[in-house]
A = this chain, B = another copy of it.
Amino acid sequence: MNADKIPDIIVGRLPVYLRALQRLSEKGIQTTSSQELGDIVRISAAQIRKDISQFGEFGKQGTGYSIPFLIERLKDILKVDRVWDVVIVGMGDIGHALARYNGFANRGFNIRMVFDNDPQKVGQKVEDFEILDMSMMAEKIKQNKIKIAMLTVPATVAQEVADQLVKAGVKAILNYAPLSLNVPAGVRVQHIDPATHLQRMTYYLD
């Protein structure tokens, strides 16, 4: 199957495999098996073999997967063999946590600018970032051709801000506001919604 046509459901698992492989690599481990990887990510070995076989032949029966090779291939497929500039919009608790998080750089992302519309926050520093006024947001995003935004504004204004982001050229929004954003075709949205994740686990509780 062509890498351009990987089903969305498989695309969603590839970053999880990549994260686990990078952890193994950091420990100096060079090869792994679908069984070992499956134990880490809690997906069946058969599913992992099937997913990975979608985009080529990796590993040989009995010798397992080469971790560096698989990491390289996954990065290439997910397009994180490059570094993407990202903006954070909304500098509340979550915005601060994201700005301070140092785990983006080695996974393909560079926080480029952070925005808020609160005059008390604009001009303040968070880590190395000066909080910029949201009135400058569209212009700055256009100028810098930024395609990715993390949206951590209150739910009441999230759709309005998302509209501005899309108009400025953003094509991917990581949405922390607890609502479904309406965006045009060609724009991707992922939700980070703790209640949804919790509900996925209560199914299995007694």
**Segment of A63-71, A129-137, A186-194 engaged in the interface with chain B:** A186-194
Interface pair A23/B180, CB less than 8 Å apart: yes
A53 to chain B, nearest CB (A): 18
Q: Is A57 positioned at the interface, with any CB of B under 8 Å from its CB? A: no
A56 located at the interface, meaning its Cβ lies under 8 Å from any Cβ of chain B in the complex: no
Q: Does A196 contact B (CB under 8 A)?
A: yes
Q: Which residues on the B side are within 8 Å of A199 (C-beta)?
A: 14-15, 18, 78, 80, 107-108
A20 at the interface (CB under 8 A from B): yes
A98 contacts the other chain (Cβ, under 8 Å)? yes
Answer whether residue A29 sits at the interface, using C-beta atoms and an 8 A cutoff. no
How many copies of the chain does the oligomer comprise?
2
Per the bound structure, the CA–CA distance linking A84 and B205 in Å amounts to: 10
Nearest-CB residue, chain B, relative to A99: B93
A79 interface contact, C-beta 8 A: yes
Q: Is the CB of A202 within 8 A of B108?
A: yes
A105 to chain B: closest residue by CB = B195
**Pair B194/A98 contact, Cβ less than 8 Å:** yes
- Bound CA–CA A89/B196 (angstroms): 19
**Could you say which residues of chain B place their CB within 8 Å of the CB of A204?**
171-172, 188
Query: Do the beta carbons of B78 and A202 come within 8 Å of each other?
Result: yes
With an 8 A cutoff between CB atoms, is A198 at the interface? yes
Q: In angstroms, how far is the closest chain B Cβ from the Cβ of A154? A: 11
Proximity bits, A160-172, B CB within 8 Å = 1, else 0: 0000000000011
Contact at A193–B19, with CB atoms within 8 Å? Answer: yes
Minimal beta-carbon separation of A167 from chain B (angstroms): 17
Whole-angstrom CA separation of A97 from B176 in the bound complex: 11
| Chain B residues, CB < 8 A from A201 | 148, 172, 174, 188, 190
The 4 closest A-B pairs by CB, nearest first: A93-B97, A15-B199, A172-B201, A107-B195
